[in-house]
Every structure is written in structure tokens, then in C-alpha cells.
């Protein structure tokens, strides 16, 4: 025997060996491997711990309850989606294809006479926009415009001259470029 | 040489590992019957795990039901299917924590007494061998209770998971989200305290010699 018989593992070292034998220093592991006393002490302590587990199990009453689960299955959207990935991929490809064809060749896929239909629709849209513009300018019918005095729009040059006189030759304001007359 | 409980457990665990993985995958794909088979496989382990921590059969049954229901509803959140058992233990410990939290609140308002729920079943049985068995049972849980009271929360959990629930160091570290070295340190300290419980150890000695 290569170990010193008088130096057995201490109680704490035995506990360390029970927790994880491979964590012991190599010299102690070798001693434990070859010393019958230390080996027996370790086994005895381990048996007590095993007995704790055994008695705990023995002194536990059996469960009388049956586990009840809800009817719905535990299928998350994520898992459902993963299961349908191929179908989703195909649907997406088809949708993309349709979009690409639609945008690149809008007139090619219209039925026969599609161009004329489109031109007529454009004309209708234009006349509608003209109507809207007129309405926006004169929102009220003429009779109501008369009542509120808005119907007359025939302001002539003389009238406008009276309301806003034109800037003539005589300066009426300060002009830094000329030494002039300051208004009184 | 007969196999120890731990060895039997390990070999059983290895045998069922692939079966469990297959069942978990089926359950995740929507099979309720696969999940029911998982319940059959782990019901006893989980019920016992809860009972060790509550020492009340009815509470343990209710909490076990909650654990499996919780697992059933959130199975899609399980990242590693091979860790289903570990995951059940995690859910279990959380539910037990919730149970004690609620119990504390109820006791503050005087609606709950600690003695209300401790398993008193069979204690009134006068049949002699049965009465002796019940006495032993009572003594065993009393001394286990005394030991656990002397352990810190982490030491207690590590001790229970290792020697009563038969999880290995790595599994315990996964359940408790702690490092393996931390688990070992707490286990070592728990064993130091266990060693000093002479009455419990004598009780185990009696049981060893009587069996
Ligand atoms: Zn020795």
C-alpha cells in the first residue's frame, strides 16, 4: 500500500467526496480509492442519505387526484406557423409574382378594348375635377351669391383704381436712394 | 450487487429520455394524448417533490395540478425539449413559492394556520403495526423538518433536490439557475448540518437495520 494509513480523510473531506469525488485533490482521491476505512466511511454516510430519500418516498401518501387538462391543445401560433411554412412560402411567392406582373405591364393584362375604357374613364375623371374646381370657387348657387353680394365679379379697371390706387410717379414713402420729400 | 435507488433512477432516466423527447415534440405539435403520457411519467415525481415541501397531501395535489396545467399551456416556451423534467421542477418550485406567498398573506389576516393543513391522515388509526408506522412517519418528517429549519433557503433546496428528488448536480444548477460550484458549496454546507442531526441519523439507522 502506498498511502499513509494514519492519515485518513477528515469528516469534511469525506463530505466533499460525497458532493463530488472528482473535486478532491488527487492525493486524497487516491487515498480514498485504496483505503478501506475511508471508503467504508463514505459508503456509510451515503447510505444514510439514500435512506433519507427512501424514507421520504415511503412516507409520502399517494396522490388521489387525477391531472385534468383543458380541451384546447397547446399549440401556439408560432408552432402553427412553423407547420404551415411551406404553404405560406408558396402563397407569398404567388402574391409577389402577381404584383410584379401587374406593375410592369398594366395594359397588357387588360381585356380587349381596355385602353379605350381607360381613356373614357380618364375623360370622366377630368370633367369631374373641373366641376369640383368650379364648386370650390363658388360653393353657393348664384341666387345665394346674389343675396350675400358675392355674385358681382365684374370689377372694372376704374373701380379697382378707386379701391387700390396705383403707385404713380410721386413717391409717397421713404426711398433711401433719393433725397426726397418726406410725407407731411 | 443490487442497484441503489440513484442508479435505478439514472438508468430509468436514460431509458425514458428519448421517449420523453418524442412525447414532448408530439405534445408541442398539438397532441394532448402525448402530454397525458408525459403526465403519467412524471406525476408521481412531481407530486412527491411538492409534498416534500408542503407536507400536506391536498395542497400537494392542488399544486401538482397547477404545475401540469402550467406546463401544458406554456409548452411552446420550452426551449430544450430534452429538459422537460428539469423544466417541470422549475415550474414546480415557482408554484410552491407562490403557495407559500399566498399562505403568508392569508396568515397575516388570520385566515390560515400552519397546523390546518399538515397531513394528519392516518394518525388516528389504532391498528398496532399501522400506528407504529404512523409514529415512524411522524418522527421522520418531524426530524426532517428540524433539519430543514437549520438550513438556508439555498442549502435546503439543494439538499432536497439532491437526496429526495434525486437530481444530479448539473440538473440542480439548471433548476436553480445557479452555477454548479455554487450548488456544490451549498450541498456541502447542508451535509455538514445534516451530520450534526444525531436523532435523525439514529432514526435512519433504525430504519436501515429494521428493513
Ligand atoms: Zn483512510
Judging contacts by C-beta atoms under 8 Å, the chain A residues touching residue B51 are 60-61
Between residues B189 and A130, which one has the greater pLDDT? Answer: B189
Question: Cβ separation of A52 and B144 shorter than 8 Å?
Answer: yes
B157-188 residue pLDDT tens: 999 999 999 999 999 999 999 999 999 999 99
Instruction: State whether residue B52 is helix, strand or coil.
Output: helix
Distance from CA of B89 to the nearest CA of A (A): 16
Neighbours of A49 (CB within 10 A): 18
Distance from CA of A49 to the nearest CA of B (A): 6
Give A139's pLDDT tier (boundaries 50, 70, 90): low
Judging contacts by C-beta atoms under 8 Å, the chain A residues touching residue B38 are none
Give A123's pLDDT tier (boundaries 50, 70, 90): confident
Nearest to B91 by CA among B157, B48, B46, B54: B46
Contacts of A9 (CB under 8 A, 6+ apart): A17, A28, A31, A32, A35, A38, A41, A42
B114-156 residue pLDDT tens: 444 556 555 555 577 788 888 999 999 999 999 999 999 999 9
Least confident piece of the model among A6-20, A117-131, B30-44: A117-131
Q: B7: CA distance to ligand 1 center in Å?
A: 25
A45-99 residue pLDDT tens: 999 999 999 999 999 999 999 999 997 655 555 555 555 566 667 777 778 877 8
Distance between CA atoms of residues A37 and A10, nearest Å: 12
Q: Which of B70, B207, B209, B210 has the highest number of chain A CBs within 10 A, making it the mutation to test binding with A?
A: B207
CATH 1.10.3720.10 fits B137-211, yes or no: no
What is the model's pLDDT at position A58?
A: 95
What ranges do the domains of chain A cover?
11-59, 114-163
Question: Cβ separation of B32 and A73 shorter than 8 Å?
Answer: yes
Distances from the Cα of A106 to the Cα of A100, A110, A115, A179, angstroms: 10, 7, 10, 69
Question: Cβ separation of A50 and B5 shorter than 8 Å?
Answer: yes
What is the model's pLDDT at position B115?
A: 47
Q: What is the average pLDDT across B42-71?
A: 97
Torsion of CA A110, A115, A118, A123, to 10 degrees: 180
Distance from CA of A43 to the nearest CA of B (A): 12
Q: A10: CA distance to ligand 1 center in Å?
A: 9
State the architecture of B1-122 in CATH terms. Answer: Orthogonal Bundle (1.10)
Distance between CA atoms of residues A115 and B91, nearest Å: 68
What is the model's pLDDT at position A182?
A: 43
Buried (b) or exposed (e) across A59-98, using 16+ Cβ within 10 A?
A: bbbebeeebebeeebbbeeeeeeeeeeeeeeeeeeeeeee
Distances from the Cα of B115 to the Cα of A23, A156, B19, B142, B163, angstroms: 43, 106, 41, 13, 26
Give B49's pLDDT tier (boundaries 50, 70, 90): very high
What is the model's pLDDT at position B110?
A: 66
> What is the dihedral sign for C-alpha B123, B125, B128, B130?
negative
pLDDT of residue B38 exceeding 80? yes
Judging contacts by C-beta atoms under 8 Å, the chain A residues touching residue B44 are 63
Nearest to A15 by CA among A28, A34, A6: A28
B34 near B96, Cβ under 8 Å?
no
Whole-model pTM: value is 0.66
Place of cell 383543458: A70
What ranges do the domains of chain B cover?
1-122, 137-211
Distance from CA of A80 to the nearest CA of B (A): 8
What is the model's pLDDT at position A172?
A: 45
B171 near B86, Cβ under 8 Å?
yes
Question: What ipTM was assigned to the predicted interfaces of this complex?
Answer: 0.85
Amino acid at each position: 500500500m502506498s498511502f499513509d494509513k494514519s492519515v485518513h480523510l477528515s469528516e469534511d473531506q469525506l463530505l466533499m467526496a460525497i458532493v463530488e469525488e472528482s473535486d478532491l485533490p488527487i492525493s486524497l482521491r487516491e487515498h480514498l480509492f485504496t483505503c478501506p476505512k475511508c471508503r467504508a466511511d463514505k459508503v456509510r454516510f451515503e447510505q444514510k442519505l439514500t435512506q433519507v430519500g427512501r424514507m421520504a418516498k415511503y412516507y409520502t401518501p399517494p396522490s388521489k387526484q387525477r391531472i385534468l387538462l383543458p380541451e384546447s391543445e397547446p399549440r401556439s401560433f408560432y408552432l402553427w406557423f412553423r407547420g404551415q411554412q411551406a404553404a405560406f412560402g408558396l402563397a407569398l411567392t404567388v402574391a409577389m409574382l402577381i404584383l410584379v406582373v401587374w406593375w410592369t405591364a398594366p395594359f397588357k393584362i387588360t381585356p380587349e378594348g381596355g385602353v379605350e375604357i381607360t381613356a373614357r374613364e380618364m375623360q370622366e375623371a377630368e370633367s369631374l375635377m373641373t366641376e369640383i374646381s368650379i364648386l370650390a370657387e363658388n360653393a353657393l348657387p348664384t341666387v345665394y351669391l346674389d343675396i350675400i353680394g358675392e355674385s358681382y365679379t365684374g370689377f372694372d379697371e376704374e373701380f379697382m383704381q378707386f379701391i387700390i390706387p396705383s403707385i404713380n410717379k410721386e413717391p409717397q414713402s421713404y426711398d433711401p436712394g433719393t433725397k426726397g420729400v418726406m410725407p407731411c | 450487487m443490487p442497484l441503489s435507488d440513484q442508479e435505478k433512477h439514472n438508468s430509468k432516466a436514460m431509458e425514458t429520455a428519448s421517449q420523453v423527447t418524442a412525447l414532448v415534440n408530439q405534445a408541442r405539435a398539438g397532441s394532448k394524448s402525448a402530454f397525458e403520457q408525459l403526465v403519467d411519467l412524471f406525476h408521481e415525481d412531481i407530486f412527491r417533490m411538492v409534498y416534500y415541501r408542503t407536507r400536506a397531501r391536498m395542497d400537494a395535489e392542488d399544486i401538482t395540478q397547477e404545475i401540469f396545467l402550467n406546463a401544458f399551456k406554456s409548452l411552446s416556451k420550452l426551449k430544450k425539449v430534452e429538459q422537460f423534467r428539469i423544466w417541470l421542477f422549475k415550474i414546480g418550485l415557482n408554484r410552491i413559492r407562490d403557495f407559500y406567498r399566498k399562505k403568508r398573506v392569508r396568515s397575516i389576516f388570520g385566515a390560515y394556520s400552519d397546523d390546518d393543513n399538515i397531513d394528519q391522515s392516518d394518525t388516528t388509526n389504532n391498528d398496532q403495526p399501522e400506528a407504529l408506522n404512523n409514529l415512524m412517519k411522524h418522527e421522520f418528517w418531524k426530524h426532517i423538518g428540524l433539519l430543514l429549519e437549520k438550513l438556508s433557503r439555498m442549502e435546503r433546496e439543494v439538499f432536497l433536490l439532491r437526496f429526495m428528488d434525486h437530481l444530479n448536480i448539473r440538473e440542480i444548477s439548471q433548476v436553480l439557475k445557479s452555477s454548479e460550484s455554487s450548488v456544490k458549496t451549498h450541498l456541502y454546507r447542508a451535509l455538514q448540518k445534516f451530520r450534526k442531526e444525531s436523532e435523525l441519523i439514529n432514526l435512519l439507522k433504525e430504519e436501515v437495520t429494521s428493513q
